[in-house]
Structure 1
Amino acid sequence: MSCLNSANDECLSLLPVYCFDPRDYGKSSSGFDKTGPFRAQFLIESVSELRKNLEARGSNLVVRVGKPEAVLVELAKEIGADAIYAHREVSHDEVKAEGKIENAMKEEGVEVNYFWGSTLYHLDDLPFKVEDLPSNYGAFKDKVQKLEIRKTIAALDQLKSLPSRGDVQLGDIPSLLDLGINPSARTSQEGKPTMVGGETEALNRLKSFAADCQARLTKGGNQKGGNNSVFGANFSCKISPWLAMGSISPRSMFDELKKTISTPSTPRNGSGDTGLNWLMYELQWRDFFRFITKKYSSAKTQVEAGPATACTGALA
């Protein structure tokens, strides 16, 4: 949230933007769908709720289907933007897209401000440089498990208004057909539980998970293994899709569970005896993979290939 808060604090007006990059859809070189119908629908629902949440705070969301480096330049010209605020990503395709955006904005004299998010531990707090990141999880965990986790930044109740200059149309949120995806493909699993995208569902699931953890600890029930356990593999299917989509952050998850569990303790290994321990275990693994991806996607020897991914940004 530091990205949005900073943009709101430093600018006179704010134009939140989400781009559905067409390069994310269709078939890959291997013949597989780049984005399947279930993930695409989940994303559409997430963006729809993001627009509603921004609208409730006095703002709104501009939605476009197009390449971010082209869409953002066009919008920046239209409103006379001075800067772009966005979160850094880590994979090769996303880093490549960020480079294209920076180059395009540099030609227009628009400043690009990137912020770090999406991990439990902040990049700047790591006790080593990214290029010195341990190549195995055990060594990584030993170095980071005593780090202090930054507090969650509260969401703003009110945002700056949209720019008065330019007649920017908000744009429609695309359907599956608009993205070139056959909606009938989703009927193949009809009758099975579906996941609804968006922050509201993410928070509801987190609260439910936290309550289950507390109930099991209070009753002294089995906390390891088993198909009905709230820990272990069953944890991931409850939370990870919303975490991956950015509907909820790792630190907000940690804070919520820490408030719920009556006697949380920092995990010493992956088999902790509280929901907070399991959460830490899962999020530390997730951090390791994101940081190791950044380490190698940032390498100068990285071979350039593949499409750019969708990009969110705010113009100010």
Structure 2
Amino acid sequence: MSLTLIWLRHDLRLADNPLFHFETPPEQLMCVYVLDSSWLLPLSGINVPRIGPARLRFLWESLIALRGELLKRGSDLLVRIGDPASEVTELATHHGASQVRVRRDAGWDETQATTALQERLGEGVSLWQSDGGLLFDEACLPMPLDTLSSGFSAFRRKAERQWAVSDAAPAPVTLPPWPDAAPRGFPALLTVCSRAARWTCDSRAALRVAGGEAEGRSRLDHYLWQSGAVSCYKQTRNGLLGTDFSTRFSPWLAQGCLSARQVHDAVRAWEAEHGANESSYWVIVELLWREYFHWAARQEGVALFGARRLPQADAPFRAWCEGRTGLPFIDAAMQELAVTGWLSNRARQNVASYLVHELGGDWRMGAAWFEHALLDYDVASNWGNWRYVAGIGRDPRGHRFDVLWQAERYDPEGAYVAHWLPDIAKLPPGKSRHRPWSVSPERFSPPLVMPRRESEACQANPILADDPGA
């Protein structure tokens, strides 16, 4: 009796997932997710696990939702904790799988795990891989992967000249049954990480998200069809407070509860009914940024991460992590990240720039902290964007932001900093909230490092969010 094992990673959905589409369905199907146990161990240097409680909670919600969808179609889900390649090899061997299916992920660790699996699988077991979740398959890229442009603009121009994005595929109606002798289900989150089981989003957050394919589609429908916020995305995307100034699709895209093609199709459908405009076009541009970072990470391999061993965290880095730099715009953002797992695009740009260019911090430390703290962490976008800000690798220029100028432009009344910093809320609206040491030196000390001034012309606008409109 033929048995296929689907190894799920960052593709926790049934719709537009090539892993679930068969030319000839197997007689039995196992769907397996393995939480890499190394993600739960403290990272050297910063002494926190690679996956923090916010993302782990979202992941577990996504797995629970996926299991429900699988059960409706006659299948099920097994979740294990351990070394992914070892766990999948053991399951495939023990239950006699003839094929293992897995998505090609951009991360180096995931690539190494796939290679290890291929080496361990016995004769007669094939490994089938797909490029699911993206706009393009590798064969449809606007340029060969080994000649991927060093900058986004060239990639975007070529992609737009020969635009050919396949339609998102529907979810299967039924699936082959689960093998009788195979285990199923997964451990309670409380036994995996008690902090994640108890984690709740801070009440000050404008939007609280839950994992799962249905939740992702609900957010997509809200942003496009219910609120119509897509019609003014270009004008609002630099916002700091509120629910709909950005798409906030990124958590579901990062875990694969939504695919890029699903977002693309939905935006094109909205444009067909309401007319395309600069804002709807810019959501597509954000998808292209995400696409570019994925393929760049595939091309870079392990070099994406720089030297893998991190230095020990120093006092300025700890102050940055904990929102204690003395600069309200930075501290408010880091407080928001700590208690919600999310940051706006504009805030991500500024906190990254301040760590690297003002505090002199190691960009890899910042990227690792984001990996721990972000709800919507995506390996390619996160590490690619930190390299971009630092001027490492593909774009050696570096991108430094005048943080005070940014704060006063994008938060002119200080509403954002007052929202997250109670002491700042006691000051009158305006510039004083961004420079509290100048109006109340007895209560507020100057920041650890005073940002250097730059002209307005130097304000670059990289996309630092992990996914469209994050």
Q: Shared fold (TM-score greater than 0.5)?
A: yes
Percent of residue pairs identical:
25
1:160 is the counterpart of 2:176:
yes
1:72 aligns with 2:88: yes
Matched, 1:174 2:188: yes
- CA gap 1:33/1:234 in 2 versus in 1, 3 angstroms: farther
AA aligned opposite 2:99: A
Residue 224 of structure 1 pairs with residue 226 of structure 2: no
Quick one: which of 57, 60, 64 aligns to 2:73?
Answer: 57
Letter in 2 for 1:206: L
Deviations 1:199-244 (A, max 9, x none): 1110100000112564775xxx79513639999x9325x2111001
The question of whether the paired residues in 2 share the 8 Å contact of 1:90 and 1:291 is answered with yes
Change in CA separation of 1:4 and 1:303 when aligned onto 2, cut-off 3 Å: farther
Aligned residue number for residue 239 of structure 1? 249
Aligned runs of 1:76-115 on 2, under 5 Å?
76-105=92-121, 107=122, 109-115=124-130
The unaligned stretches of length 5 or more in structure 1 are 266-271, 307-316
- Counterpart residue type for residue 71 of structure 2: E
TM-score normalised according to structure 2 size = 0.56
Structure 1 residue 129 corresponds to structure 2 residue 161: no
**Take 1:42 and 1:252, find their aligned partners in 2: how far apart are those partners?**
20
| 1:295 aligned partner | 299
Tell me how far 1:183 sits from its aligned partner. 4.3
Equivalent residue, structure 2, for 1:207: 221
Question: Residue 132 of structure 2 aligns to a residue in which SS?
Answer: coil
Larger relative contact order, structure 1 or 2 (CA cutoff 8 Å, min sep 6) = 1
TM (norm. structure 1) is 0.81
1:197 maps to: 211
1:19-38 aligned at under 5 Å gives the runs 19-30=34-45, 31-38=47-54
Contact map agreement 1:4 1:85 (CA 8 A) in 2? no
Q: Matched residues in 2 for 1:18 and 1:57: separation?
A: 18
Per-residue deviation at 1:114? Answer: 0.6
RMSD: 2.9
Tell me, yes or no, if structure 1 residue 3 matches structure 2 residue 24: no
* Structure 2 CA distance for partners of 1:172 and 1:156, relative to 1, 3 Å: same
**More displaced stretch, 59-68 vs 206-215:** 206-215
Instruction: Report the alpha carbon displacement of residue 293 of structure 1 after superposing the two structures with TM.
Output: 0.3
Contact 1:82 1:111 in 2 (8 A): yes
Distance of 1:235 and 1:140 partners within structure 2: 24
List gaps (5 residues or longer) in structure 2.
1-16, 311-470
What is the distance in 2 between the residues matched to 1:42 and 1:162?
Answer: 26
Distance 1:199 1:160, change over 3 A: same
Matching of residues 138-149 of structure 1 within 5 Å: 138-146=153-161, 147-149=163-165
- Are the counterparts in 1 of residues 62 and 211 from structure 2 also a CA contact under 8 Å? yes
The amino acid that maps onto 1:295 is Q
Contact 2:57 2:196 in 1 (8 A): no
Comparing 207-216 with 240-249, which one deviates more in the overlay?
207-216
Counterpart mapping for 1:231-270 below 5 A: 234-236=245-247, 238-261=248-271, 262-265=273-276
* Cα gap change, 1:298 to 1:149, in 2 (>3 Å): farther
Counterpart of 1:282 in structure 2 is: 286
Corresponding residue for residue 273 of structure 1: 278
| Map of 1:314 onto structure 2 | none
Shift of 1:305: 8.1
CA distance in 2 between counterparts of 1:222 and 1:90 reads 28
Contact residue 57 and residue 159 of structure 1 kept, 8 A: yes
Matched, 1:117 2:127: no
Distance 1:42 1:185 in 2: 12
Q: Distance in 1 between matches of 2:137 and 2:230?
A: 31
User: Once the 2 structures are TM-superposed, how far is the Cα of residue 77 of structure 1 from its aligned partner?
Assistant: 2.4
Over 3 Å counting, the alpha-carbon distance change for 1:295 and 1:134 in structure 2 is same
CA-CA distance at 1:246 after TM superposition? 0.3
Over 3 Å counting, the alpha-carbon distance change for 1:239 and 1:73 in structure 2 is same
